[in-house]
Structure 1
Amino acid sequence: MFELAQAVKLASVNPRAEIHGEDRVPAFDLKIEAFCPNDLLIPFHPELRTTLYKKAEDPDLVEQLDGEALTALRFPKMGAIKWDVELTGYKVEVDYGLGGDSNIMLGEVKIDGFKISPQNGGSVGLSFRIICHPESEDVGRLCEFIQRDIDIKVIPPEPTTLGELFGEQKAA
């Protein structure tokens, strides 16, 4: 399952309305941009990382220490790719700087719009959209972070099957 706990850039906050039955409910799209180690690609598909990366032909000292490091781009002229998946039931915690109760908790979010940008050296640029319904008092706090780096935790839903409980993952 997709998980993330690191500093990211909150690129934009887009307010809009969703129709739930006959009611209009405020909704917000949070555009997230991050640079992550390429092993973050494994939950998307077990072979995605090995498809995009290979061992360096002339490894530097750090890469020599980890003989299995996949740090060179297999297709250096390939640009970003879209990954068409929609993740539901996730929670997102945004660190507001004081920790604990001051953090913004977003429950039952939907995550989609993944864009994967392989980078030489073993990192990957990742952007995605979080669709959420924050509390009124959190909207302004989220808007304060537009175009700034923030610390977030993307928390997957609890496992619902024994397979999920013991690590059998569905590709994201």
Structure 2
Amino acid sequence: MATTKIRCLAVISASNAPLYLRSFGQKDTQQADLRFHFIAHGALDIVEERAGNRASEQYLGLLLTLEDVAVYGFQTSTRVKFLVMITISDAIVRDLDLITIFRAMHTSYLSHICNPFHSLPQPLLPSKSNIPPPPPSEASLAASRKPIRSPLFERRMEKIAGWRSPDDAAPRPPPKPAAEAAQLPAVPPPPAPKA
């Protein structure tokens, strides 16, 4: 996956509201974000079609290609969707690499929502009983559409995308060799056996 360049990562809620969408390596980020929002919404139709009524976690594979971007999808059991948009190239994109990226995104998302100060959305899954669920409150709908604005989540997504911010571009000193890093006391040799 070293030759493949991630252009955008997106997290979409169960109600199809974008929670997080970030483009990487673009000069005009506002124009790029608008373009990737359009592509993400186009891919959501295919996600709904492929996922069907199954509520299990699944890798959806290649959803669509548009211009110079290929969109891959993943949906969790709670119907949260993750999209990865990469540059179309001659290199082969392995499903295992993409599943690894989606698992890392899912883990970062879970770490974010496990924060006790984060307001969780109400699940929008269909009920298995004949009694219809009560309509969601305005507060739960607002919470399910609340965009993710966390510097920690941003750094995790940058790491997943393999992108370095300009602050990280400064050269770092090389790591110290193991001998210099940990100065262990010298251990005396064992005594010679007596004859």
Which interval holds the TM-score relative to the shorter structure? Answer: under 0.3
TM-score, scaled relative to structure 2: 0.20
**Greater RCO (Cα-Cα under 8 Å, separation 6 or more):** 1
Q: Give the structure with the larger strand fraction.
A: 1
TM-score, scaled relative to structure 1: 0.22
Bigger radius of gyration among the two: 2
